[in-house]
Amino acid sequence: MPAPDSRPHLLARRRLRFLGLTPDDAIRAFFGGNAVVAVIVLALISYFLVREGAGFFGQNRRNLEVYRLAGLEFVDHLRAQEEGHTALTRRLSELRLQAFDRLSRGGADAEAAERALVGFDAYADRFGVAIDPLRALGSELGDVATAIKTKFVVNEDRKEERRQLSAEGRTAEAERVEVMPIDFAAAVKPLLAARDRHREVNRALAAELTSLLVAAPAPPVPELRESLERFGAEVRAYVSELPAIERRLETWDQSRPVSLGEALRAFLFGRQWLTASFWQDWYGLLPLLTGSLLVAGVALILAVPLGVGAAIYVNQFASTREQRVVKPAIEFISAFPSVVLGFFGIAVLGEFLRQVSHVPWLDWVPGFPFSERLNVLTAGCLLALIAVPTIFTLAEDALNNVPRALPEASLALGASRLQTTLRIVFPAALSGIISAVLLGLGRVIGETMVVLLCAGNRIAIPDFTQGLGVMVEPVHTMTGIIAQEMGEVVRGSIHYRALFMVGLVLFLLSLGINFLAQRILRRYRLAPA
Amino acid sequence: MNAHPTPFAPRSRQRRLREGLVIAIFRAATYAVLLAGGGVFADILIKGSRTVFQAEAPFINTTFLFSAPESLHVFEWEGRRREMGDREFRAFREREPGAADVRAESFVYSAGGIWPCIAGTLLLVAGAMTLALAVGVSSAVYLSEYARDGRFIRFVRLAILNLAGVPSIVFGLFGFGMFVIFFGWNVSLLAGWFTLAFMVLPVVITASEEALKAVPQGLRAAALALGATRWQTIRTAVLPYALPGILTSSILGIARVAGETAPIMFTAAYVVRDRLPWEVERAVDFLFQGVMALPYHIYVVSSKIPQNEYTERVQYGTAFVFLLLVALVAAASILLRNRLRSRLRW
Amino acid sequence: MPKTAASSSPIVEIRDLDFCYGPVQALHAVNLAIPARQVTALIGPSGCGKSTLLRCLNRMNDLIEGARVVRGSIRIHGIDIHAPEVDVIELRKHVGMVFQKSNPFPKSIYENIAYGLRLQGVRDRARLDAVVEQSLRGAALWDEVKDRLHQSALGLSGGQQQRLCIARTIAVEPEIILMDEPCSALDPVATAKIEELIQELRARYSIVIVTHNMQQAARCSDQTAFFYLGRLIEHAPTRDIFTNPANSQTEAYVSGRFG
Ligand SMILES: Nc1ncnc2c1ncn2[C@@H]1O[C@H](COP(=O)(O)OP(=O)(O)OP(=O)(O)O)[C@@H](O)[C@H]1O
Ligand SMILES: [Mg+2]
């Protein structure tokens, strides 16, 4: 071994340099570069969602503008009137059904029941046909409006063709493509002119309905008296609404511009998602959002008690041996591919739940029995299975992180295990558990395959008037609509962009949930023991 | 109860019972979850095994595992009900003179097998995991070995956490917008790889960081004190001991990559494709081809074709194979990790 | 400076050193000359900055966030080790370190010793063999492990592991060896062996050792420096410190009347 007497080589610097960097610096930079990939990906996601989706509002504005210019909006006022009447007619047939039911239960055979209802039927028929003149007017005007729109669409296509041809340098051919500019103001004249007729039709309708009210038949069964009276009130309300519709038509202004804000509102608060329609396309988020939230709500109602309960049990009461089995088993459930669960829902669970709903002594459950096998409940149950492992694992972690001193102190004061758990450990872990639930919610809202396969895919805001029965309605969701329609849309079309906007909303929603979960976790975290 | 209870008298029976009941409820929740999971697992395993296994040697239905999907034709012939795959049916009609105009009910994808889907899934997973591991491990090395806690690092960590919460369908949209359209890669393996890799990145980073943190500080100090550079320390005294942990935990990422459908729906998956992924003319075509994949195939066969006794075979069979693959991977990961955790107490 | 006692020429000179961990100042105006080829013991109550000073000498503190030398300098052979042209890697090769908790790599004994040389790119098997043997002999471990060189170092006893760490340190031929409470986790027999080893090593190396064990400091050091609350209180030949301390705090500490 040498005895280093000479001056040491402290100064020696034999490291290579490249562009002023030592290899170590370069390696560090390489790793650092990889570390920011997560940031970059997040930025890219936002960028591409916006890039593909942002054009939506301009297009939707144009879409709404054409809706107004071509007079579709005008005709829709008439249609609303028609629909109001249809709803009333439906009430009548419901009432008839009830009456028939009562009669047959009262001992009448079918024929006798029919006979008893003759008067009511005549009344209902008269009520039904009262709308015919209006319906005729509506469909006539509808034809006018669609013609205008069709012409506009054809023209747009031609313009596009022309643009393409001249872009390719085939000017002569481009010239030959005919574009006939539409004078919207002139085109809607027939609509405006029909306002007088509409007023007449309305007067006749009002007179007919009022006279019908007077001539209302005696209720075929006494129990229906109240219902019929309520129906009468509804009809009166309907009649009193008619002038308002006339006023709306009167003040309808074809040239009122559509602002971008309106286009935005039509997306965020639009109550319809209707695409590839011959009449008018709507891109409203609400039906999808409510669908997503409803399914997620059902899933959480099931998953939170199960997941948190299991976490409390495993962390606080289970033996070590039990823990060693249960924890990996639940973690294992989290690896189930969602598409397999979706398939299970279609193949087994949907039918199973439907049959359960038909069990007689269960019909007190809201919504039971139901006939649609794929609905919120089916999807919610499966999503719960997806959410439970997430909630369980995170909640168990939170319970685990409670400083041991706390329960020990409580036990030393003579509290029982359960008291200690519920009064000391659980509150101490509450912020962690809440954030676990939030992350479970994020998981569920972002889940695609299960809802695509099992939620029933009906695009409409579910009927909340039935209270909890809404749980068994089919819905469509934000994730589901993207998965279902993305493959079929034309790139760059308004529909395509609308789907990207839905994606953007989903993205922001998930960021928000995540952010909230982390805030809660950080704000209320106990000081480490 | 006597008049003078001793200080250590047992608590009243009623209270004990009540406590027992509450604990039993918690316990019931635990087992309800396990039961539900087990139920799904068993249903698919039992019904699917009828497709995948068979009574005679080699006991495994090799046709199902190793051939491509075909249409199934069901028809009456000479008073008997016959079921045939597409190719067999065509041959049959040529062979039998009277069979030319036999009326057959057809069910797409219900005959043959799922080999292209298995192959496609394996390829997708392999590529995506390679990418994710490369980026994820490097990222974790930076975060745990180089980075000093500061605003920027906190921002990076926040980004990772948030990335983990992004819904998979949004990754699909993003992959579609960026790789398929903007880069012009079309629906391709490559686009699928990147999309899936970005999706599991947070999982890999978190797992790797945990494994790196588990390597005792003393080893780093020892290496540095012996005159190792930072990179030498990482390469010789940190990574080798973290690697088993990184790999086992990342297997869970594999399960996630393999299990997701939404991200590959518009980026990498085809409903059908005649050729197997390696049957390409030029090597680059390999990267730019779409593939069939098990999860997407399950989606297609469970939602696009009717449900009946003939289609159930392929539906349950595919679900069985897929679930078993993913479950094996996940189980391996969980078991290995638990083993490692208990063994690696430094 | 209090009473100094650098008999032979100092190899390390610390001047007016102020050291901070972020806002916390851990060392205040420390002046200390460490003589070559002698054992210098640093003693003092817990938290007084002994480890901090030790880790300054091979700049292990660079790794701690916010830790920095605020004022003063450390010179080894007259070279300021914080000068920009000093390569910290070379410095650490020159100033080896043994830690409180033995930290062998989970590799074979042989590979543990060869680690430092391999870092420097030495591949020559014969040379590695020679250095491994030499170092293990130097650390008085050769006879105990020569038959199991290729077994895991984690299979050694605590004391053997610590000696292995010393062998690993001397394999890269440092001139100075820093030891931070090398025996605090060991039983008396293992401690005695290490102390014996230190006695042997002092012929060739300059050793700085932190210890909480007064007897140990008295037994195996030539110089002793007493620290209190981040300040160097007294530095003198060990015999003086223990028999005739100049400072009352020192006296209180070495006689055990002190936290
Ligand atoms: N990494 C660090 N960050 C912040 N402060 C530190 C750090 N390390 C040590 N300190 C502080 O610096 C002071 C000196 O610590 P040091 O470890 O040098 O004491 P010590 O004399 O070695 O004590 P012991 O005998 O217990 O090992 C202490 O007050 C300690 O709290
Ligand atoms: Mg110390």
Whether C41 has a pLDDT exceeding 90, the answer reads: yes
Q: Could you tell me which residues come within 8 angstroms of residue B214 by beta carbon, excluding any fewer than 6 positions away?
A: B242, B245, B344, B346
Check whether the bond before A369 is cis (ω within 30° of 0). Answer: yes
How do residues B126-159 score in pLDDT, each as one tens digit? 999 999 999 999 999 999 999 888 899 999 999 9
| pLDDT value for B345 | 45
How do residues B191-215 score in pLDDT, each as one tens digit? 999 999 999 999 999 999 999 998 9
How do residues B59-84 score in pLDDT, each as one tens digit? 888 888 888 888 888 888 887 888 88
Q: Where in chain B is the domain with CATH 1.10.3720.10?
A: 115-345
Following DSSP, what letter does each residue of B12-45 receive, concatenated? PHHHHHHHHHHHHHHHHHHHHHHHHHHHHHHHHH
Check whether the bond before B58 is cis (ω within 30° of 0). Answer: yes
Residue of B nearest to A417 (CA): B19
Residue nearest to atom 11 of ligand 1 (CA): C26
How far apart, in whole angstroms, are the C-alpha atoms of residue B22 and residue A416?
Answer: 13
Between C185 and C15, whose confidence is greater? C15
| pLDDT value for A366 | 82
Q: Which residue among B156, B165, B315 places its CB closest to the CB of A442?
A: B165
A 10 A CB-CB count for C20 gives 16
Q: What does each C-alpha distance from B192 to A210, B77, B119, B120, B124 come to in angstroms?
A: 66, 45, 14, 11, 7
| pLDDT value for A275 | 87
Per the domain annotation, does C129 fall within a domain? no
Per the domain annotation, does C220 fall within a domain? yes
Per the domain annotation, does C156 fall within a domain? no
Per the domain annotation, does C142 fall within a domain? no
Residue A74 identity:
F
Whether C217 has a pLDDT exceeding 80, the answer reads: yes
Q: Which of A269, A260, A286 is nearest to A57 (CA)?
A: A260
A 10 A CB-CB count for A526 gives 13
Residue of C nearest to A2 (CA): C173
| pLDDT value for A469 | 82
Domain B115-345 belongs in CATH node 1.10.3720.10: yes
pLDDT band, very low/low/confident/very high, at B4 (cuts 50, 70, 90): low
How far apart, in whole angstroms, are the C-alpha atoms of residue C114 and residue B39?
Answer: 57
CB C180 within 8 A of CB C54: yes
| pLDDT value for B9 | 65
- CATH number of the domain within which C78 lies: 3.40.50.300
Mean pLDDT (whole number) for B21-48:
94
Q: Inspect the interface and report whether the beta carbons of A4 and C175 lie closer than 8 Å.
A: yes
User: Mean of the per-residue pLDDT values for chain C?
Assistant: 89
| pLDDT value for C258 | 66
CATH of span A300-526:
1.10.3720.10
Alpha helical stretches, state H, A252-285 = 260-268
CB C173 within 8 A of CB A1: yes
Per the domain annotation, does C240 fall within a domain? yes
Q: Which domain range does residue C69 map to?
A: 10-103+176-254
How far apart, in whole angstroms, are the C-alpha atoms of residue B173 and residue B176?
Answer: 5
Q: What percent of chain B has pLDDT over 90?
A: 49
State the pTM of this model: 0.88
How far apart, in whole angstroms, are the C-alpha atoms of residue C258 and residue A484?
Answer: 78
The parts of chain A modelled with pLDDT lower than 70 are 1-17, 19, 524-529
The residues of C whose Cβ lies within 8 A of any Cβ of B are 58, 60, 63, 65, 89-90, 92-93, 96-97, 99, 101, 103-106, 115-116, 118-120, 165, 168-169, 172
Whether B287 has a pLDDT exceeding 60, the answer reads: yes
Q: How many CA atoms lie within 13 A of A291 on its CB side?
A: 33
Residue of A nearest to C175 (CA): A4
How many interchain CB pairs under 8 A, B with C? 59
| pLDDT value for A3 | 41
How do residues B234-282 score in pLDDT, each as one tens digit? 999 999 899 888 888 788 788 888 889 999 999 998 888 888 888 888 8
Ligand 1, atom nearest to C44 Cα: 21
Number of domains in chain C: 1
A 10 A CB-CB count for A115 gives 12
Rg (CA), chain B: 27
Lowest mean pLDDT among A215-229, B23-37, B267-281, C157-171: A215-229
